[in-house]
Amino acid sequence: MSTMPETLATLLSRHSLGGKHLGEPGPDDAALRLMALAALRAPDHGGLAPFRFKLVRGAARERMATLFETVALAAGKDEAEARIDAERALRPPVTVAVVARIDMGHPIVPAHEQWAAVGGAVANFLNAAHALGFAGKMLSGHKVRQPAIQAAFCDTGETLVGWISLGTPVREPAPGHAKAGAVEVLSDWR
Ligand SMILES: Cc1cc2nc3c(=O)[nH]c(=O)nc-3n(C[C@H](O)[C@H](O)[C@H](O)COP(=O)(O)O)c2cc1C
């Protein structure tokens, strides 16, 4: 193939950028809707849409920062460490909590296929953000396992996967971290 389609070039240039490299503006309602629509185009056996995206923006960032700080202090972190957790919540213009709803008893679609759909949705969401000129990063960490934080984002039976930080990139990507080459993941079945 002599020329690469522009859409594929966009996919191949996506990279993550963490909160300290994200500035204003964050994506607006229209952009976030496109990201959600892209997420919904991911392969999804049974069309279960086993995920929800909860937007944390505006004043909600302060509420999430207070939650992170409170939980960090309760978990034994000192005030400086807890403040770092709070600042992580405040830095990105928009944070998107990713919540999975896996139906463990589904008669046709096993849990691992539903998780695959969640992963595809996250990837499509991030790819759409990148295609629109935004950057972001999916993060989880120990916080997703804290009951008070899970309770703040999830209904019964849901799992907090983590948070996608979103904003306008304020710097170019660092010299690339190693990625597997196609040769490492592609082979003929014998
Ligand atoms: C569900 C999920 C959770 C993740 N959690 C973390 C995390 O807590 N900390 C981290 O450094 N990277 C985490 N990552 C990986 C980053 O989002 C990112 O993909 C990785 O740093 C590689 O960068 P790249 O996307 O530019 O290739 C997570 C990825 C996924 C899909």
Distance of CA 127 to the CA centre of its chain: 11
Q: Are strands 94-100 and 51-56 parallel, antiparallel or unpaired?
A: antiparallel
Both tokens of residue 101?
A: 């709803």
Does 80 map to a domain?
A: no
Does residue 139's CB lie within 6 angstroms of at least one atom of ligand 1?
A: yes
Closest atom of ligand 1 to 173 CA is 26
Longest dimension (CA), the chain: 58
> Residue 137 C-alpha to ligand 1 middle, in angstroms?
7
Q: Is residue 2 part of a domain?
A: no
| Domain encompassing residue 125 | 17-57+91-169
pTM, two decimal places = 0.96
pLDDT at 171: 87
Per the domain annotation, does 98 fall within a domain?
yes
As for how many domains the chain has, the answer is 1
Is 162 close to ligand 1, i.e. is its CB under 6 Å away? yes
Quote the tokens at residue 102.
């896996």
**Residue 33 near residue 129 (C-beta atoms within 8 A):** no
In a domain, 4, yes or no: no
Residue 153 lies in a domain: yes
pLDDT along the chain (190 residues), means of 10: 88 95 97 98 98 97 98 96 95 98 98 98 98 98 96 98 98 76 95
**116-132: pLDDT as tens digits:** 999 999 999 999 999 99
Q: Can you tell me the distance from the alpha carbon of 55 to that of 35, in angstroms, rounded to the nearest whole number? A: 12
Q: Is 141 in the pocket of ligand 1 (CB under 6 A)?
A: yes
CATH number at residue 123: 3.40.109.10
Q: Measured in angstroms, how far is the CA atom of residue 140 from the centroid of ligand 1? A: 8
Answer yes or no: is 53 within a domain.
Answer: yes
Ligand 1 contacts CB of residue 16 (under 6 A) = yes
